[in-house]
Chains A and B, each alone.
Chain A
């Protein structure tokens, strides 16, 4: 499809396991964002990639969280040693660049049990 694609759509994992969430941005979009939404909370910024610039990691909540992006395409968000408080919807978004409309994917629902 032409939109932002995320996988898996749902993931249940045991506490302490590592998880990887994948995002395929809209083709041609140089900017990529990761947000998460925990139950009853707003959208919480995690990390931002813009072209070949160093990513803005200021939103990552702990060193258990990391993300990579290959060029201007796929991004992977990795959560190591998952905790129950990591349970959330992880939303990926992309845009043509700074200042342009951000388009979100449908999210990856993560449940840590």
Chain B
């Protein structure tokens, strides 16, 4: 049973527009959430995180929103750039322990 779900396997966006990647979780004990980015033939790299005491965290072009009541988080990339094309993994953990990852969403940003 997947505890972290990324229901969109892929997303295509025009350069300069907003990319919105969604993630849902089922375990109400999760209180720390992360996004990782993965390029082909490379390991995932940490992008941004948010703890459950916040509902928004921003870092440059990347913003993560958390809706605890809906058990939903999203990653916004504004403006999207071709170099953002990658697979994005959502992850969640209890108290920053071992993260549980989703299946990933492949983002393609067209020039």
Q: Give complex CA distance A44, B44 in Å.
A: 13
B43 near A93 with CB under 8 A, answer yes
The listed residue (B41, B99, B100) touching A106 by CB distance below 8 A is B41
Pick the residue among B43, B46, B96, B102 that contacts A42 (CB under 8 A): B102
**Which residues from chain B contact A48 at a C-beta distance below 8 Å?**
98
What is the total of A-B residue contacts with beta carbons within 8 Å? 50
Contact between chains at B101 and A4 (CB < 8 Å) = no
User: Are B43 and A105 neighbours in the complex by a CB distance under 8 Å?
Assistant: yes
- Which residues in chain A, 52-66, are within 8 Å of chain B measured between CB atoms? 56, 59
Chain A residue, CB-CB nearest to B46: A101
What's the interface size class on B, roughly? 20 to 34
Residues of B71-107 whose CB lies within 8 A of A: 89, 91, 95-104
Do residues A43 and B46 form an inter-chain contact, with CB atoms below 8 A? no
Check B43–A56 contact: CB distance below 8 A.
no
Q: Check B46 against A103 for contact (C-beta < 8 Å).
A: yes
Check: A1 CB closer than 8 A to any chain B CB. Answer: no
Q: Contact: A40 with B43, CB < 8 Å?
A: no
Q: Known contacts A42-B4, A42-B89, A43-B89; decide if A104 and B100 are in contact (CB<8 Å).
A: no
Residues of B within 8 A of A (CB): 2, 4, 6, 32, 36, 41-46, 49, 89, 91, 95-104
A–B complex contacts, Cβ < 8 Å, 5 sampled: A35-B101, A43-B89, A59-B98, A103-B43, A104-B45
Binding site for B on A (CB under 8 A): 4, 33, 35, 40-45, 48, 56, 59, 91, 93, 98-107
